[in-house]
Amino acid sequence: MSHRLAVWTFVLTTFVLALSASAPSVAAQRATRPVRVLVVYQQQAETQPMLEFAQRLRLTISKELGSQVEFYQEALDFDRFTGLEQSSPLTNYLADKYRQFGVDVVVPVGGRALKFAVDQLGRGLPNVPIVFALCAMPQTDPTAQPQNVTGRISSASRFAPTLEMARRLQPDAHRVVVIGGAGPADSTSVAAVVSAAATLGNPLDVAVLQGLPLDELLPRLRKIPPRSIVVFANYRLDGRGQAYEPLDIVGSIAHAAPAPMYTQLASYIGEGVVGGSVLRFDDEAVRTGRLVVRVLRRRPGERMPPVELIDNAYVADWRQLRRWGLSAARLPQGTELLFREPTLWQRYRTVVLLTLGVIGAEALLIGSLLAERRRRKRAQLVAEEQQRRADETRGQVAHMGRVALVGELAATMSHDLRQPLAAIRMNAEAGAKIVAGDSGPLGDEVREMCREIFGDIVADNELASDIITRVRALVRREELPPQPVDLNEICRTSARVLQYDVVARQADITFALDPRQPTVTGDPVQLQQVVLNLLVNALDACAASTTPRVTISTAVRDEEAEVAVRDNGPGLTADVQQHLFESFFTTKPHGLGLGLPIVQSIIERHHGRVKAENAEDGGAIFRVTMPGTGSAVTESPSTLRLKLEAQTPVANGILQ
Amino acid sequence: MTARLRAANTAMRYRTEALEGRHPGPAADTWVAIIDDHQSVRSCLARVMRLEGIRAAVFASAEEYLDHAAPTAPSCLVLDMQLPGMSGYTLAQLLERERPTVPPIIFISAHEDLLASVADDRLTHGTLRKPFEMDDLLALVKPLL
């Protein structure tokens, strides 16, 4: 509703305005047709800076206005077509062209375009608002413009900040060389530079190279002293009437100059110019466009917005600073530094990061794969090493076991051997004595004595041989192939080996051997070590007892064969029980602490287990359980009893 | 039959022979007791005594000696220190405690340290480490007869 009201108000107002302006057709048409913008260029419109300017201007107006906009352009190229500015045919042509068509705003670009628009075109398009762009004082006087004119204008002293910048960068410069063309625009710029130079706090010498044809200008320029500030004012027309787009020649001029060159247009930066307080066409197009939109949106009767002053910005070319050895640190604050040669890192950061990322990801992948592979390999190696060590340790332990056992048995062996050896010696001596004391033929009694003596010597020799054979079997290094081993026999032999110890300690060994003859498959020597170790431990454990007693029992239980050695010592404390099977753990003052680890190692090799527990009525029980291989012979309980009775003397140290 | 059992049997035979008088055993008043669990040592010593005309009786253990009821105490004991069951020194202490008189004791052993432990004992007449010279034994025994 409000929208419709606004439309009606607008139509009504335009109608009234149109009546008063005696142009009813244009006003009537405007309500229905797109907004029309006529851009009038003072120069050609196809130069790069102008194309950029035109494009940004169009974009800004279309975007900000929000309605359909039509653009028209007239590039008058006054520098080359001198005199056209006052040409009546051109004026009439353009006036006719756009009067019937209808134009909502005229945008003259450049001071002379503005003059043309106001003075000539305005006669054909009366009251059409004019928004000028890229004009400069004092060539254009903003205060002398009609009511329907506004725009953006550069200050007459626009070169002063540029000179400031130049002096900051080149403190030792003592001369300003101004380069300008022969055209009117060139002249105003040159004049602006000269006046700006004059306003400097510490005025410099100013030399002007103006209006020279390019082929004369460049050699002249090359001769100027190096400690100069070169200012490129403008160069649209040379002295011979040759017109130029300054952008096309600024590069060659800058490169010919033996000193840093400054300019007033951002477009020239990048062509070899150091920098300056410059007008940026892109910024300027946007600001001009916005001003145009404000003008188009004026309410009826509203005055035109005021003329705006173009605000230049400090811009410098980093490469040129490098070229002239100027310090970027001396640039005025807020200077935009262009073309800063990025470091490899800056230039290729994205590529580098991406590459690094890819490499990193690949490396990570490869790394993780390698790590995984290595981990597996290591785990495998560790496993192999552990296996190898375990085997080695087992071998070592078994051997150490034998060695330790030899140590344990050394005393027993020597005791055992001493007895028969001593007896042999004494018998031999007695025999010698008998023979020496009897000079006559040997009597029956002497003969009988000698027979007895020799019999005793033979018997003692046999005894010594028995002991040696038994010990040699125990310390034999090589393992025997697995064979059926009768545990009962192992127990008996072990007790026999230790009989001296048993007697010396006044201990009592009791057998409770299973008549089913528990048999396992394994190494008989190793198994004998096990039982010997357990027996020695048991004897040690009950040594303090008043009646030391060790019981050896065997049993067949399910598929398993068991040997148990029990003592009537103090039993095992919890602490001792916990560390029993650790190497070098011992409760004995002179023990090696190898006995039980050896026992465990051997039994594990026989796929069995060792268990230590306390007996209910005191003392410790060590149980060795191994997979049984059945019974060799089945004995009846009565046979067992007989056997046990026969074994009893063993406890008393008498071998069978 | 092993050497040991044979030895035990021989020992028994000697003891029996001595007691039954079939054997020229010790005289009722002077005799020497030889106590050693090793048969050949025992019989060897007995033979040497016999050669010298000294009556001797042999025993395989301390218990065997204690069980033996002799009309007179022996002139001396040739006593092995390590015996099955009661040790030689324990026997000596027991005799000292339970008998009015204890005969002089000649301790014998294959182990020097055992002998050293009784060397200064007042019951000890002498010590001999096996194997010893027969003359050394006779030198210790003869003065006691």
> Are A430 and B47 in contact (CB < 8 Å)?
yes
> Are B47 and A452 in contact (CB < 8 Å)?
yes
Q: Give pLDDT, residue B80.
A: 93
Model confidence over B77-124: pLDDT tens digits? 999 988 877 888 889 988 988 888 889 999 999 888 888 888 888 889
Residue of B nearest to A654 (CA): B4
> Are B4 and A433 in contact (CB < 8 Å)?
no
The model's pTM: 0.43
Retrieve residue A550's tokens. 């060790």
The helix/strand/coil state of A612 is: strand
- Rounded to the nearest 10 degrees, the angle between the axes of helix B39-51 and helix A349-437 is 20
Retrieve residue A102's tokens. 């209808």
Question: How far is Cα A601 from Cα B31, in angstroms, rounded to an integer?
Answer: 58
- Which residue among B5, B41, B111 places its CB closest to the CB of A656? B5
Contacts of A426 in chain B (CB under 8 A): 41, 44-45, 130-132, 134
Contacts of A450 in chain B (CB under 8 A): none
Q: Give pLDDT, residue B142.
A: 92
Residue of A nearest to B128 (CA): A422
Question: How far is Cα A526 from Cα A362, in angstroms, rounded to an integer?
Answer: 57
Q: Give pLDDT, residue A20.
A: 43
CA nearest A567: which of A608, A623, A524, A638? Answer: A623
> Are B40 and A424 in contact (CB < 8 Å)?
yes
Q: Which of B6, B39, B40 to mutate to test the interface with A (most CBs of A within 10 A)?
A: B40
Answer CATH for A483-651 from 1.10.3720.10, 3.30.565.10, 2.50.20.10, 3.30.2350.10: 3.30.565.10
Residue of B nearest to A449 (CA): B47
How large is the ipTM? 0.74
Residue of A nearest to B38 (CA): A419
Can A33-154 and A483-651 be said to share one CATH topology?
A: no
- Which residue among A423, A452, A462 places its CB closest to the CB of B41? A423
Nearest Cα of chain B lies from the Cα of A453 at a distance, in angstroms, of: 7
- Rounded to the nearest 10 degrees, the angle between the axes of helix A349-437 and helix A595-605 is 110
Tell me the one-letter amino acid at A214: L
The helix/strand/coil state of A562 is: strand
Contact A132, A152 (CB under 8 A): yes
Q: Give pLDDT, residue A639.
A: 36
Domain boundaries, chain A: 1-25, 33-154, 160-278+311-341, 346-385, 395-475, 483-651
Interface of B with A in 69-88 (CB under 8 A): 82, 84-85, 87
Retrieve residue A208's tokens. 């002007």
Does the domain at residues A33-154 carry the CATH identifier 3.40.50.2300? Answer: yes
CATH code for position B55: 3.40.50.2300
Q: Give pLDDT, residue A405.
A: 63
Residue of B nearest to A461 (CA): B3
Residue of B nearest to A446 (CA): B51
Q: Give pLDDT, residue A449.
A: 84
Contact A192, A158 (CB under 8 A): yes
Does the domain at residues A160-278+311-341 carry the CATH identifier 3.40.50.2300? Answer: yes
Domain tally, chain B: 1
Please write down the HEC assignment for all residues of A440-509: CCCCHHHHHHHHHHHHHHHHHHHHHHHHHHHHHHHHCCCCCCCEEEEHHHHHHHHHHHCHHHHHHCCCEE
Contacts of A653 in chain B (CB under 8 A): 37, 84
Enumerate chain A positions whose Cβ falls within 8 A of a Cβ in B: 415, 418-427, 429-430, 433-434, 437, 449, 452-453, 456-457, 459-460, 462-463, 466, 503-504, 506, 652-656
Q: Burial, B41: exposed, middle or buried (Cβ in 10 Å; 0-12, 13-18, 19+)?
A: buried
Contact B90, B96 (CB under 8 A): no
> Are B48 and A430 in contact (CB < 8 Å)?
yes
Query: What are the backbone dihedrals phi and psi of residue A621, each rounded to the nearest 5 degrees, phi first?
Result: -125, 125
Contacts of B22 in chain A (CB under 8 A): none
Tell me the one-letter amino acid at A488: N
Mean pLDDT of the B53-60 span? 92
CA–CA distances in Å: residue A224 to residues A180, A207, A217, A257, A261: 15, 10, 11, 8, 12
Helices (H) and strands (E) in chain B, counts: 6, 5
Q: How far is CA A478 from the centre of its chain?
A: 57
- Which residue among B7, B41, B85 places its CB closest to the CB of A426? B41
- Which residue among A459, A504, A655 places its CB closest to the CB of B40? A459
H-assigned helices in A178-213: 184-199
- Which residue among B2, B43, B130 places its CB closest to the CB of A656? B2
CA nearest A528: which of A350, A406, A640? Answer: A406
B109: β partners: B129
Query: Is B145 an interface residue toward A (CB < 8 Å)?
Result: no
Question: How far is Cα A72 from Cα A121, in angstroms, rounded to an integer?
Answer: 14
Query: What are the backbone dihedrals phi and psi of residue A439, each rounded to the nearest 5 degrees, phi first?
Result: -85, -30
Count of residues for chain B?
145
The helix/strand/coil state of B77 is: strand
> Are A418 and B110 in contact (CB < 8 Å)?
yes
Contacts of B5 in chain A (CB under 8 A): 654-656
- Which residue among A415, A456, A654 places its CB closest to the CB of B44? A456
Positions in chain A whose pLDDT score sits under 50: 1-2, 5, 10-29, 590, 592, 632-656
> Are A419 and B3 in contact (CB < 8 Å)?
no
> Are A462 and B3 in contact (CB < 8 Å)?
yes
In a 13 Å sphere around the CA of B13, the CA atoms on its Cβ side amount to: 8
Question: How far is Cα A647 from Cα A656, in angstroms, rounded to an integer?
Answer: 8
> Are B4 and A457 in contact (CB < 8 Å)?
no
C-alpha radius of gyration, chain A, whole number: 62
Contacts of B43 in chain A (CB under 8 A): 452, 456
A556: β partners: A561
Contact A316, A329 (CB under 8 A): no
Contact A43, A111 (CB under 8 A): no
- Which residue among B2, B44, B111 places its CB closest to the CB of A423? B44
% pLDDT > 90, chain B? 37
Question: How far is Cα A321 from Cα B87, in angstroms, rounded to an integer?
Answer: 116
Retrieve residue B37's tokens. 């669990």
Return the DSSP state at A343: -
Question: How far is Cα A452 from Cα A435, in angstroms, rounded to an integer?
Answer: 14
- Tell me the longest C-alpha to C-alpha distance in chain B: 42
Q: Give pLDDT, residue A520.
A: 92
Question: How far is Cα B55 from Cα A637, in angstroms, rounded to an integer?
Answer: 48
Tell me the one-letter amino acid at A386: Q
**Token pair 């980093």: residue:** A318
> Are A429 and B133 in contact (CB < 8 Å)?
yes
Q: How far is CA A607 from the centre of its chain?
A: 50
Nearest Cα of chain A lies from the Cα of B130 at a distance, in angstroms, of: 6
A275: β partners: A262, A316
Query: Is B44 an interface residue toward A (CB < 8 Å)?
Result: yes
Residue span of the structural domain in which B120 resides:
3-144
